[in-house]
Structures are given as C-alpha cells and as structure tokens.
Chain A
C-alpha cells in the first residue's frame, strides 16, 4: 500500500466521529435543567468521577500532546520525553489546589476564577479584570493551536488544494456548534468520548511505531544508534538545558491545572472525593500515555526519517534553522507532522486495511484532543467575558437568557477570530504561530501568573490586594518582554540580557519569579503603610 491508499476510510471514520459529537452536544442541550449560568457553565456542579477525570484529561491533553510532544522529541531527541514528568505534578496539583478551589467555590457559589480571587483580595474591578485578561491570554492561543492542528491533520489525510483551510474550519465550526447548544454538559460528555479516544490513541500510536520498526528490541536498538545529541541533554538544538526543562515541565503542569477551564471543572465536581480519584487516574494514566505512547513516536520518527543526511549533517533551511527530513516537511514548524507522516506512510504498508483503520483512528484521536481542548477553552472564555465583564460592568441587570446569548456570541466570535488567525498566519512569511509546543508554553506562561495569588488565597492568606495586582501586572509584562512578539515589535535591541534569560529557564518561570518578588515586596509595603495609618 502506498501513502495515498487510506481510501475512503478517513471520510467514513471522521464522519461517524463528528456525528457522534453532535449527538452528544444535542443530548447535553436536552438534559439542561434551566437557563441559569450554574447549569450552562458548571453542569449544575454535579459531575461524577468518570466524567470529571476524562474532562480534566481531555482539557489537559491537546494537540500539544499528540502532535507537539512527538514533534519536539523528533526534533530534540529523548530529552523531551522527560517533559512527561509534568503530568504527575499536575495530578498532585488537582488534589492540593483543586479540592480547596472546589470547596470554597461551592460555599460561595463562584462561577469563574476571577470570582474567587477578586472576592478574597476585595478587588472587584482591577483583579477581576486582570484575572479575566490572563484567562483570555491563555485561552486564545490555546484555541488557535487546536484549530491549527485540525488543518495539519486534514492536509495530511486529504492531500489537495485548500484542505488545510477546510480541515481547520470544520474543526472550529463543529466545536463551536456543540458548545453553543449544550454548554458544560455537552463539553463534558463529548470530552468523555474524546478523552477515551485520545488515551487509546496515544498508546496505540506508540505501539504502532514500535511495530513498524520490528518490535521493542529492534526499536530500541535502532534508537541507540541515533546521533549523540538525540540521546543526551540538552538535545539537538541545545535548547532543553535542565533549567528550562525543569521549569517548563513544573510550571506547564501547574499553569495548565489552574487555567480557567480546569478551575471551572473543579467547581463542577460533585465532591472532593471525585477530584481526589481524578487526580490519581490522571497521574497514573496520562503519564503512561506520554512515556509509552507519543514519546516513542518521536524517537521512532528520528529512526525512520533521520534529521541528518548521508554525510551526517543536519537538514537546515536557508536561514540556518533546523528542519526535519524533507519527507516530513520543509519548514521548522513541520516537526509537528511526524506522527501523522509515520502513521500514514507506514501503518497501511505494514498491516494492510487494518493498518489503515488504525492509522485513521489515531488521527481521529488527534482531532479529539484538539477539539476537546478547544471546546473547554472556548466555553471557559465565554464564562469569563460574560460573567466577569458583561455581567459586572456592562449590563448587571441582564436576564439569564440575555447572558446565554452573549456567551454564545462570544464563542462564535472567538472561534472565527482564532480561525482567521490560523489561516492568516499560514500565509505570513514569518509565521508567528510557529511550532505547537512553543505557542502552547507561551499560553501556559500566562496562566502560571495566577499561581502566587492562588496559593496565597488557598493556603497562606498573607498577601494584599496591592501585592496581588502589582505581581500579576509585572508577571504579564515580563512574559511580553521575553516572548517572540517583543523583538517583532521593537526589533532586536537589548537582546543580550533577554537572550541570556531565555536560555537559562522557561519564560513563564522568569515571569513567575518577578511576579512573586513584586507580590511579596508590595504586600510588605502595603502592610507597613496600613500599620502606619492605623497608628
């Protein structure tokens, strides 16, 4: 079988999958109990452990995990497999942070993260808006990379003109429809389907690549002969020094667990017991999927599609940047396509029709990962803008029905905006969206800025409103200065110190460091000023 011999299997399987999602979306709509926001955004705070586990997993696992992670292992080698260790950390965070968030949220009827943080620090305007802004800064890039993944998949599955645009649009529109009609129930129920698919898909992907290379023995024998940089730290591009790897994996997990969509899933859980069990399932199952699933795809990819030519030289583009084997792609962003290329080119050849079905199932799992993260984030964004901005500052007297319509409009507008960004950036010479992992880590850096206030609010109860506001502002500013957008706007000046900072630890960790320092110093000053005034 050749690489184009998947036949009509992709159309049939994808059609069935999308139909199933729409059915679940409709079912979520039928099960709605009322027009109240609690029901639309938190499913009446009644979710059991299976739904909670799978919806937390499906929201956590995105195209970052299924395309980005194997792409990064394919580029940098085995060092990025250690990024899997962020998953148990996230599991523990579900217990440490999630159970307290749920309890306080339930006691006070909170709907969004900003409700809790602004109430604790008694800052109904500034902190509410800042927390909502962080949510937006996290959510939009994360939705963008999921839609981008839909385009990548479609391009590989259905070679032809405009298939990237068609795939991206289809993923965006179907996701948009089922969230709009059914709210949290639809999102959570579709997450059950998608979560199961992506867990199975990840493990199946690893198994398939090992099978393609002749089994575990031959697989690891071939891996052992990869270039030395692929088998050591800091990897092919010298990027993943332990400082960056450690901070990126530690804060990726914490930032992803306190992002708005997950925070709302804690509120939606029926009890703390549900969250504890979810934390255990999460840490056990998802780390296995990473280590024995997608990470093996990246390593196998290096064997099947070497990064070096016959002379042992790495493939480079005209600008001197590392690119994958030409059979995978011709741009630095093409590393993300390794899983799709391996499955499509090798599985049908090895296993015939069964291989074609398995390949398509895994590709559908990638789509499931992308859709399940996009839906959760779009749904959370709708809650942030409707509840934290529209309800509070624009139309406090709005009826439940009006709020529902505003929420739905926000979902539609954001989806179209993200889709437009994906399509526009594809034709931009210097694609600002670049690789999935790079953009994903930037989004996570934003949500990580909620960590100091969250820990203080749940455990320490020491900081002040002024400290929280100043810390968040400084954290966001540092991310902007260290992000790829700063040199795009202000040129390369001052790159010496910035470049040094970027090479040492993850930018989210730098921002968190300055955030915490500011939070502590300003809180101390505010307390001193208050004590002075009271004298």
Chain B
C-alpha cells in the first residue's frame, strides 16, 4: 500500500475507533439492565470499561504507526 493510501486508511480507522469507543458502538456491549440476569463484567472488569480500553489500544496503535511511518517522514518546518 502506498503511503498516501495508508494515511487515509489510518484516518478512517481512527474515526471508526472514535465512533465505536464512545459513540453508537456502545450499544453493541451495553448490558441490558432489564434482562433477568444481566452480565456487567468481562474478564472480571466492567464490560464498558474493557470496551473503552480496547478502543484506546486501537487508537494508540494507529497513532504509533502514523508517528513512526508517516509523521516523521514529513518536513519539520
């Protein structure tokens, strides 16, 4: 993939991570409190918290890739 295409892909992935992390993507994992036996945890942690950590990891991965492979290549002045 050429650098320009990869930059666009990283940008799109970052937007997706924003929408999934704190946006409508939350509906996918939000516990239903009206259910008979709702489950609020995943791996012993609150599911919502794990969801946030996961999307943080995705965002950080994108930023690290962008920094080391794209931003550093650009002219600093």
Q: Which residues of A contact B (CB under 8 A)?
A: 78-79, 81-86, 88-89, 91-92, 95, 103, 217, 220-221, 223-224, 228-229, 231-233, 242-243, 245-246, 249-250, 271-273, 276, 279-280, 283-284, 287, 291, 295, 299
Residue from A81, A228, A242, A279 within 8 A of B33 (CB atoms): A228
Measured between beta carbons, the chain A residues less than 8 angstroms from B40 are: 224, 228, 231-232
B23 within 8 A of A: yes
B37 to chain A, nearest CB (A): 11
* Least distance between A49 CB and chain B CB atoms (Å): 11
In the complex the two chains form, what is the Cα distance from A379 to B60 in whole Å? 32
Chain A residues, CB < 8 A from B56 = 84-85, 88, 287, 291
List of A residues within 8 angstroms of B60 by Cβ: 88, 283-284, 287
Tally B residues with Cβ within 8 Å of A: 39
Are B33 and A232 neighbours in the complex by a CB distance under 8 Å? yes
Residues in B neighbouring A224, C-beta threshold 8 A:
40-41, 44, 46
Task: Establish whether residues B48 and A85, one from each chain, have CB atoms under 8 Å apart when the complex forms.
Answer: no
A–B Cβ pairs within 8 angstroms, 13 of them: A82-B48, A88-B59, A95-B66, A224-B41, A228-B38, A229-B33, A231-B40, A242-B23, A242-B27, A243-B23, A273-B76, A279-B71, A284-B63
CB closest residue in chain A, given B45: A220
Contact B49 A272 (CB under 8 A): no
Q: Which residues of B contact A295 (CB under 8 A)?
A: 49
Bound Cα distance from A233 to B66, whole angstroms: 32
B46 and A78 form a contact (CB under 8 A):
yes
Residues on the A chain within 8 Å of B38, using CB:
228, 232
Contact A85 B18 (CB under 8 A): yes
List residues of chain A with CB within 8 A of the CB of B14: 92
- In the bound complex, residues from chain A placing their C-beta under 8 Å from that of B18 are 85, 89, 246, 250
Complex CA–CA separation, A84 to B55 (angstroms)? 11
Q: Does B46 lie within 8 Å of A82, measured CB to CB?
A: no
In the complex, which residue of chain B has the Cβ closest to the Cβ of A102? B77
Q: B31, A228: Cβ atoms under 8 Å?
A: yes
Flag if A246 contacts B19 (CB, 8 Å): yes
Contact B48 A81 (CB under 8 A): yes
CB-CB < 8 A to B27: which residues of A? 233, 242
Given contacts A228-B31, A272-B76, contact A245 B52 (CB under 8 A): no
Is B67 positioned at the interface, with any CB of A under 8 Å from its CB? yes
In the complex the two chains form, what is the Cα distance from A383 to B35 in whole Å? Answer: 56
8 A Cβ contacts from B2-35 to A: 14, 18-19, 21-27, 30-31, 33
Most chain A beta carbons < 10 A, residue from B24, B40, B75? B40
